[in-house]
Amino acid sequence: MSSRSRLASCALLVAGCWLLVLPVSARPPGQRATSNQQVLRVCSDPNNLPFSNEREEGFENRIAQLLARDLGATKVTYYWFAQRRGFVRNTLNANKCDVIMGVPSSFEMALTTRPYYRSGYVFVTRRDRKIDIDSLDDPRLRKLKIGVQMIGDDYASSPPAHALASRGMTSNVVGYSVYGDYSKPNPPRNVVDAVAKKEVDLSAVWGPTAGYFAKQSSVPLVVKPFTPEIDLPFLPFVFDISMAVRRGDTALRDKLDRIIEKREKEIAAILRAYGVPRMDGEDGL
């Protein structure tokens, strides 16, 4: 990735100045005015593919390059911070960076752009097991060992974990922390690897994580969306994903909105390359 992105950055030197694109007056209060700030500053997790890593190998890194080009920035710089509790406070709201590349569209801690993709939780199974389940209400689930992602913040688990519990399934459910062991690469992949390693029969995993690591797996894995898309009253398994800027930074948000609209095809191609299951009719499964 690095040589190609370096080439791309060089090509961008001829593009316009970031400061011209975002005048000083449009900067949110408190943001430091620096000269030569012809960069797009992205808040990003250094160790979480397929989204991002510090070698800039994630799809969010790729899309950030796309944004920078259209914004007229000469390059993308990153403020690296593990995406955990306090992420927004320590990155975006600390003025260390200006854009978070992925949050749910209804996220309240920042100003979100229009969605640029919709994905959902999916079932991951081994192809050789031929487990053909596509519903949370399939009675066969009760006989399987199921892996889910554990969150632990906000009194919450991942939506499938809640859904299984409300259907009476807890003793056949195994939790894999989304934090994992941060000293290892891409800790959230553990819930996908568990299927390949036969620790569990099936995992319910957030689409982008599932799609990417299923593609990487040496054991053939199957990724399958499930029904329903929502448990009432409000437990969705499908989420629109947006970019986020600081509250009040409507100038940048409006620019990003226009780029997302204009570059829909390029963004879709990047997401496809990373195996992101789309639930919005764009390369959907």
Residues that bind another protein (CB under 8 A): 45, 48, 51, 81-86, 89-90, 93-94, 102-109, 149-159, 161-162, 165-166, 168, 170-171, 173-175, 177-179, 181-184, 187-188, 206, 208-209, 231, 233-236, 239, 241, 247
Q: What is the dihedral of CA 215, 216, 221, 223, to 10 degrees?
A: -40
Distance in Å, CB of 198 to another protein, minimum = 16
Cis, bond preceding 228 (omega within 30 deg of 0): yes
Q: Which H or E run contains 104?
A: strand 99-104
130 or 154: whose CB is closer to another protein?
Answer: 154
Report, in Å, the least distance between residue 170 CB and another protein: 5
Taking the least distance from each CB to another protein, the nearer of 227 and 262 is 227
Decide whether 19 or 202 has the Cβ nearer to another protein.
Answer: 202
Q: Which residue has the tokens 């449009």?
A: 26
- Least distance in Å: CB of 174 to another protein? 6
Helices and strands counted in the chain (H then E): 9, 14
The token pair that represents 253 in the structure block: 């948000």
For another protein, the closer CB: 23 or 29: 29
Burial 226-245 (b: 16+ CB within 10 A, else e): beeeebeeeeebbbbbbbbb
DSSP state of 68: H
In whole angstroms, the minimum distance from the beta carbon of 99 to another protein comes to 14
Least spacing, CB of residue 93 vs another protein, in Å: 7
Q: Measured from the CB atom, is 206 or 226 closer to another protein?
A: 206
